[in-house]
């Protein structure tokens, strides 16, 4: 039998909240799937849509952008900008026919290790039935 498909998730995590949240999950030895390639960014607001496209282009099966909860942004309002931008990108990717499950955004605070693991668990579960992402993957 073929091995079960293990999706690769590229997660852009803000340094101050979500990345700290994932660290908390790590140091607390919470179990969650090892499918994530985390990329620490200074703020969810610094995630250019180009990063997202590039992640899919380079073979990500799913992309997650995660930042602080509204009001908690280290830079006061970076995550509000992110919210707008990601909403638009999400709709555009949906419009061109990429499965909407493949691109997610979340608010994860530094204290929410559990929430982080749950988000990843859910994400992996949702991606598995979709199989590998080939639509935007580099076909040189």
In the bound state with another protein, the residue whose beta carbon lies nearer, of 4 and 133, is 133
> What is the nearest approach in angstroms of another protein to the Cβ of residue 86?
8
In the bound state with another protein, the residue whose beta carbon lies nearer, of 4 and 87, is 87
In the bound state with another protein, the residue whose beta carbon lies nearer, of 1 and 134, is 134
> What is the nearest approach in angstroms of another protein to the Cβ of residue 65?
9
In the bound state with another protein, the residue whose beta carbon lies nearer, of 1 and 48, is 48
Residue with tokens 């994860």: 108
Q: For the chain, where are the E strands, in sequence order?
A: 9-14, 36-41, 62-67, 103-107
> What is the nearest approach in angstroms of another protein to the Cβ of residue 3?
21
CA distance 47 to 59: 18
> What is the nearest approach in angstroms of another protein to the Cβ of residue 2?
23
- Report yes or no: 97 and 73 within 8 Å, Cβ to Cβ: no
Residues that bind another protein (CB under 8 A): 49-50, 53-54, 57, 70, 77, 80-81, 83-99, 104-107, 119, 122, 135-140
CA distance 33 to 97: 27
């Amino acid at each position: 039998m073929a091995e079960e498909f293990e999706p690769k998730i590229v997660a852009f995590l803000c340094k101050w909240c979500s990345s700290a949240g994932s660290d908390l999950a790590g140091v607390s030895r919470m179990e969650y799937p090892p499918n994530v390639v985390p990329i620490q960014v200074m703020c969810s607001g610094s995630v250019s849509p180009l990063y997202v496209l590039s992640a899919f282009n380079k073979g990500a099966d799913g992309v997650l952008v995660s930042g602080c909860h509204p009001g908690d942004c280290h830079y006061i309002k970076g995550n509000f900008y992110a919210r707008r931008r990601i909403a638009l990108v999400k709709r555009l990717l949906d419009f061109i026919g990429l499965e909407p499950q493949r691109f997610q955004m979340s608010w994860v605070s530094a204290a929410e290790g559990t929430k982080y693991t749950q988000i990843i668990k859910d994400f992996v579960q949702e991606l598995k039935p979709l199989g590998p992402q080939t639509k935007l993957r580099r076909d040189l």
